[in-house]
Amino acid sequence: MNKTIEVRNPRTGISDHTIVPPSKNQLEQQCLNLRQAQIHWQQIGIVGRIEALQQLKQAVLSQRDRLTEALVQDTGRLSISALEIDSFLSSIDRWCQLAPELLQESEKNTAIPFIKLQQTFVPYSLVGVISPWNFPLLLSTIDTIPALLAGCAVMVKPSEIAPRFIAPLMKAIKTVPDLRDILVFIEGGGETGASLIEYVDLICFTGSVATGRKVGAAAAANFIPAFLELGGKDPAIILSSANLELTTSAILWGSVVNTGQSCLSLERIYVAESIFEQFVDLLVTKAKSLKLAYPTVESGEIGPIIAERQAGIISEHLQDAIAKGAMVRCGGTVEEKDGGWWCYPTVLTQVNHSMKVMTEETFAPIMPIMPFVTVEEAINLANDTIYGLSAAVFAAEESEAIAVARQIDAGAISINDAGLTALIYEGEKNSFKYSGLGGSRMGAASLKRFLRNKAFLAKTNSVADPWWFDS
């Protein structure tokens, strides 16, 4: 496993960084060390754990410039890197506020008057987190923070495509005495991820359906729980009553933010036939106003395509759609500039479900739009997919939109907006179909995933129980 992995810079195309994954023995030893140190972490209780995480927050703030620089190198984008750091820091505060109440033990009477119930929890000792490249910091910490507060030690294996942020983050972690022995980010690729599953008690995986299947199977073989957060092909339904000005702005943001490289990007847009042309014209005008973040990282809104293999997939989807009759209303090409790959915001019409761009995850700033006549037709089209991550519905009345949302097979539906599940952390949701498996990563339920319930059932009187044997 110790084979060096070259890391490409998404803006230049040059491999200007390398990582060296740990050997299997090193990984196993590190996991044993984490497991040993977790005993103290659990013993210091929630107050001690909150204190350590607040120290981490300060340490990250002191490393902020280095962390930003590393994330910019990893992803080629500036404002989203800053946003990732802010979201990470605010997630520490949010979980520190929520955790004490969630970890309260309770005592209750039961249906049998002389039996009392004491409900307690025991954290899993060692949690493994495997994360993707599209939001390197955010997605490697989204499960990590609640797992730490629950009392677990955590080993994180971020993507080998965007690993530069690991060094400054580990530098910050190492300054916090109670954290440095129970939280480790390791470098490595798929092989390291696969090995990690052998040594942990629970695995949180974020990535593609194809890898998620392997992770799920390996977790089952090791008899550990797996929480899988996988791909999507999110639909938006725009009913004829929708406010076109607001809707086109929300669709544009929901489809092209982060260059469309988000699991919850809107990748299919179904618009009522009566407003179709008006909607397309307005969306095209707005899409054309966006600029590439090129030549400098400070310019424009659309960053480079982070993963090179992604550029090939996007071209393939575009060519497939055009060959089958799609009309390009703006954008439509994947271009190489100074070694990086770029895709302008693209609007496609005359699309249908025989095209990859309507059925497979494209992960690009592409908005394929189809008209519908009846609402039933729109719902059938939205549900005609193997995915069920999230969706959006737009209408003049919230109740009209919710009536449609109830019929969409997905875990989180934004009403009259897009991508709200990334901003509103309270909303618990499960992925439908192939978009994932396991409990909600959002909301209070997220932290509970890292605890095993334990019940003490105490007899409180000294009278023989009616169900005992007579002897």
Judged by beta carbon, residue 234 or residue 417, the one nearer ligand NAD is 234
CB atoms within 10 A of CB 61: 12
Q: What is the DSSP string of 56-73?
A: HHHHHHHTHHHHHHHHHH
Question: Peptide bond preceding 371: is omega within 30 degrees of 0, i.e. cis?
Answer: no
DSSP state, 302? B
Structure tokens at 69: 């620089």
Query: Which has the closest alpha carbon to 54: 95, 94, 93, 103?
Result: 93
Is 31 designated active site?
Answer: no
Residue of 84, 229, 267, 360 marked active site: 229
Residue 202 has phi, psi (to 5 degrees) of -160, 140
Closer of 371 and 438 to ligand NAD (Cβ): 438
Q: Which is nearer to ligand NAD, 126 or 282 (CB)?
A: 126
Task: Return the residue nearest ligand NAD (CB atom).
Answer: 193
Q: Which of 126, 121, 130 is nearest to 182 (CA)?
A: 126
- CA 411, CA 230: separation in Å to the nearest integer? 12
Cis before 132 (ω within 30): no
Helices (H), 133-243: 136-141, 144-150, 166-174, 190-199, 209-222
DSSP 21: P
- How far apart CA 431 and CA 133 sit, in angstroms, is 20
Nearer to ligand NAD, 176 or 219 (CB): 219
Work out how close the CB of 203 gets to ligand NAD at its nearest, in angstroms, rounded to a whole number: 8
Q: How far is the CB of 218 from ligand NAD (least distance, A)?
A: 7
- Determine how β-strand 183-185 pairs with β-strand 202-206: unpaired
Least separation, in Å, of the C-beta of 159 and ligand NAD? 4
- Assigned token pair, 323: 């060959």
Q: Which residue, 197 or 282, is less far from ligand NAD as judged by CB?
A: 197
Would you call 320 helix, strand, or coil by DSSP? helix
Taking the C-alpha atoms of residue 198 and residue 192, their distance in angstroms, rounded to an integer, is: 10
Candidates 152, 204, 263, 343; catalytic one: 263
Closest distance of CB 58 from ligand NAD, Å: 28
User: Least Å distance between CB 247 and ligand NAD?
Assistant: 24
CB atoms within 10 A of CB 282: 18
**Smallest gap from residue 230 Cβ to ligand NAD (A):** 5
Q: For residue 3, which of 28, 17, 21, 27 has the smallest C-alpha distance?
A: 21
Our CB check for ligand NAD shows the closer of 125 and 140 to be 140
Concerning whether 263 is annotated as a catalytic residue, the answer is: yes
Token pair, residue 416, equals 């009259």
Considering the complex, state which of residue 132 and residue 368 has its C-beta at the smaller distance from ligand NAD. 132
State the residues that interact with ligand NAD by CB under 6 A: 130-134, 139, 157, 159-160, 189-190, 193-194, 206-208, 211, 214-215, 229-232, 263, 361, 389, 436
Pairwise CA distance, residues 325 & 357, whole Å: 12
CA distance 160 to 193: 10
* CB of 123 or CB of 132, closer to ligand NAD: 132
Q: Which residues are catalytic?
A: 229, 263
